[in-house]
Amino acid sequence: MTRYLVTLIVVFIFCVGIDAQDSLVFTPFLNENKNMSEGGLTLNGFTRGLVFGANKNYDYSSVFGEFCLQGKYAQGNAYLYSDLRFRSGLFFNDYAAVFQIKEAYAGYSGEKFDAFLGNQIVSWGRTDGFNPTNNITPNDYFFLSSDPDDQKMANFMLRIRYRLSPLIDFDLIGIPFYLPSVYRYDLFDMGEFVQFEPVMLPERQFKNGSYAVRANLELPRIGFSLSWFRGYDPFHGYNVSNIDWSGGFPALTSTPVPYLKNTLGADFAMPLNTWIVRGEMAFNHTRNYDTAMYIPNPDFSYVLGIEHDFGGVNAILQYIGKYTLDFTLYAEPVLENPSDPLAQMQYVQQKIYYESEMFNRRIFYQQKESNHALMINLSRSFAYDVWNIEFTGYYNLTSEEYFIRPKITLKATDALSLAAGASYMDGPEDALFSYSKSVLNGFFVELKVNF
């Protein structure tokens, strides 16, 4: 708490020293004739209050107040960016006060060459929502707010970007240590005899770092890129680490374990009159998937989407697919001799491993050889952008899971906005959305002031 207070006091003193201007711009090192595009410090941010809840397990899933301060500084070739968040409130019945460095990085920015080091959020890919080539940015899937982008987490990385020409640029990223996405399966009702351990992180060694490179080309009629990633996927699997029989009934301990992979990816965006066609695809190569349940099979993931404006309604429709290589059916165990206690124990143990294997396959959408899903996003503004209505829907044709998210936003003034909406998911018994609905479903209301 002392660290939080000191940080806020420093920020307050710094802001008080700035002349009171709407944009909060500080330019001590600039010639008065120069504009802000050539340098200076710009501060902005927001304060908001948010309530998210009313599901089966929690009346209040997420209730908090948050202050955000974002700063950008450019002077010559020096550049820095920071995004600081302080929030306090109730998160799944636990009260917490959190100071978060959302992003903080510094570096060199030139006409042809950029180099940044620090906590950065980098999203690769040209499709919306589903990006099979984006293996860099982890997500906190249990941070519930009005904006799904709030779930993106920064990785500490070195990012180098070289612009060969106005049409061609190259990205090189090095991530020294692994940061996993946040999952809270311990919040789900999976039985009193199932326990989830903290994630088993790889040792912080050079060999366990992640590396990525991308070549991007922007032409008037099409833009596309090719990319490669080698490292640990933020989207990890689960392993059976222990089965305890001491209580007379088997108690399962499941441990999240990251896995190493290589990904070759490509994406494109192409305008066709008033339509925009986007596509993204990735080949994910893994090893030892036949002996470790937490490692998915190699697969080919792809997204194809179209975007068009229908009388003021911006519509995005996507098809999401996955083909699993070397796919084999996992046979469900059978109790051959019900009267034999040893056979019963062996059957229960085999059943545990079977259910855990199927749980991982559902996580990776590899429960069948092919997986197919559809996503639609609709948005429209009214009354000169005072009102905005959004709707997102997702349906998995293979697993029969679905998800809907309506949202309405009122921009009362230039600085004040009010947002309200809901999030609802469901699916067949034992499907992931069937587990998740009791925790992640709910309504939300947000009041926000930007500065």
CA 321, 322, 323, 329: dihedral to nearest 10 degrees? -120
- Which residue did the predictor score with more confidence, 17 or 291? 291
**Per-residue pLDDT tens over the stretch 102-125:** 999 999 999 999 999 999 999 889
| Whole-number Å distance between alpha carbons of 48 and 66 | 5
**Per-residue pLDDT tens over the stretch 419-433:** 999 999 999 988 889
Confidence (pLDDT) at 247: 76
Confidence (pLDDT) at 181: 95
Sign of CA dihedral 252, 94, 140, 387: positive
| Whole-number Å distance between alpha carbons of 44 and 106 | 18
pLDDT higher than threshold 90 for residue 202 = yes
CATH top class, domain 121-450: mainly beta
331 secondary structure, DSSP code:
P
For the chain, report the end-to-end CA distance as a whole number of angstroms: 26
Confidence (pLDDT) at 245: 84
Helix (H) or strand (E) holding 175, with range, is strand 168-175
Q: Are 115 and 158 in contact (CB under 8 A)?
A: yes
What are the extents of the domains in the chain? Answer: 1-104, 121-450
Weakest-pLDDT range from 337-351, 355-369, 434-448? 337-351
**Per-residue pLDDT tens over the stretch 375-401:** 999 999 999 999 999 999 999 999 999
39 sits in the region (left: phi over 0; alpha: psi -120 to 50; else beta) called left
Q: What is the mean pLDDT of residues 62-78?
A: 96
Write out the two tokens for 370: 């092919």
Residue 193 has a CB neighbour count (10 Å cut-off) of 14
DSSP state string for 287-321: SSTTT-TTSPPPEEEEEEEEEEEETTEEEEEEEEE
Amino acid at site 31: N
- Strand 299-310 and strand 313-324: the pairing is antiparallel
pLDDT higher than threshold 90 for residue 286 = yes
Q: Are 102 and 85 in contact (CB under 8 A)?
A: yes
Percent of the chain with pLDDT over 90: 76
306-309: long-range contacts, CB 8 A cutoff, minimum separation 24: 306/275, 306/276, 306/277, 306/278, 307/275, 307/276, 307/277, 307/278, 308/274, 308/275, 308/276, 309/274
Amino acid at site 23: S
Q: Collapsing DSSP states into helix, strand and coil, what is residue 440? A: helix
Confidence (pLDDT) at 147: 93
pLDDT higher than threshold 50 for residue 30 = no
CA 124, 129, 133, 139: dihedral to nearest 10 degrees? 80
| Mean pLDDT across the chain | 89
